[in-house]
Amino acid sequence: MNSINNQNQINVGVDTGKTQLDIYIRPLGIYFVVSNDESGIKEAITEIKKHKVTRVVIEATGRLEQPFIMACAKANIPFVIANPVNIKRFAGAINQRAKTDKLDAQLIAHYAEVIKPKLSQLKPEQIRLMSDLLSRRRQLMEMQTMEKNRLQIMPKEITSSIKPMLTVIKNQLEKTDNKLHKLIESCEEYKTKNDIIQSVPGVGKVVAFNLISEMPELGYINNKEAASLVGVAPFNRDSGSYKGKRMIRGGRSQIRTAMYMAMMSAIQCNPTFKAMYQRLVAAGKPKKVAIIACIRKLVITLNSMVRDGVYWDPKMN
């Protein structure tokens, strides 16, 4: 009976690359390749819409699949953003070790047919809205800081015009946070990731908002890549016989800033990071270097937690 149901379903597997999308339609046996750009995605959507597909499954990378997902949502094509770990486990279960782009697309389509993963609720416009709300939140925080600084240095006669501004900014911050919270609650995928991230003592809503919006790769990449994206992975500065200090560089500064503030709290209330920080400082590391090392540990921990769908447990560190 199950095999009959599978025959009535049409599952599409999409293997995502930087420059191309490899697409396999099962059980029709249709395979084609398009460029991962506007014209290629349009071609893919046209072909997929010829068939009454049950689901299109695309492996999550964090960003490379976003344009295709947006196109699917616009065309009302049911899609699933699959965790690469689950597909890798499925490949092991059916003993598939060979890897080519075509085989990967076939594997994803096979995974879709057998596992029947739940359709994604994630809406691309929600991603954009969250990013815009976070940008506005940062602007409000900057205005709040400037007004607070003016409050300290301006004469008392002027403060009467500053305090009402601070009240307005505070109200707008609350409204923005409420909108972000409702956005997360409306989407099961956002909500689950948010709950996992905030289960870490010392990590609050600001870090969660930033990671969900600005680092969708979290949980879908390896730990080294996660640390690099935040900009807390150390790079060697060696040339010939010169051995320079290892430095951090690049990454997404807004996430790093949010995580820096969170770590200042975590080293006070989270025994795991408090002990790590104290150990590094006792070993002679500058305080800022110790904090960055703790942030790197936090990023790696969060990446693993989101990947495996588990909540904070100090024993796993």
Per-residue pLDDT tens over the stretch 276-311: 999 999 999 999 999 999 999 999 999 999 988 899
pLDDT for 241: 43
Per-residue pLDDT tens over the stretch 163-213: 899 999 999 999 999 999 998 888 777 888 999 999 999 999 889 988 887
The pTM assigned to this predicted structure is 0.68
Q: Residue 245 pLDDT more than 70?
A: no
DSSP of the chain, one letter per residue?
-HHHHHHH--EEEEEE-SSEEEEEEETTTEEEEEESSHHHHHHHHHHHTTS--SEEEEE--SSTTHHHHHHHHHTT--EEEE-HHHHHHHHHHTT-----HHHHHHHHHHHHHHH-PPPP---HHHHHHHHHHHHHHHHHHHHHHHHHHHHHHS-HHHHHHHHHHHHHHHHHHHHHHHHHHHHHHT-HHHHHHHHHHHTSTT--HHHHHHHHHH-TTTTSS-HHHHHHHHT-S-EEEEETTEEEEEE---S-HHHHHHHHHHHHHHHHH-HHHHHHHHHHHHTT--HHHHHHHHHHHHHHHHHHHHHHT----GGG-
Select the highest-mean-pLDDT range: 94-98, 254-258, 264-268.
264-268
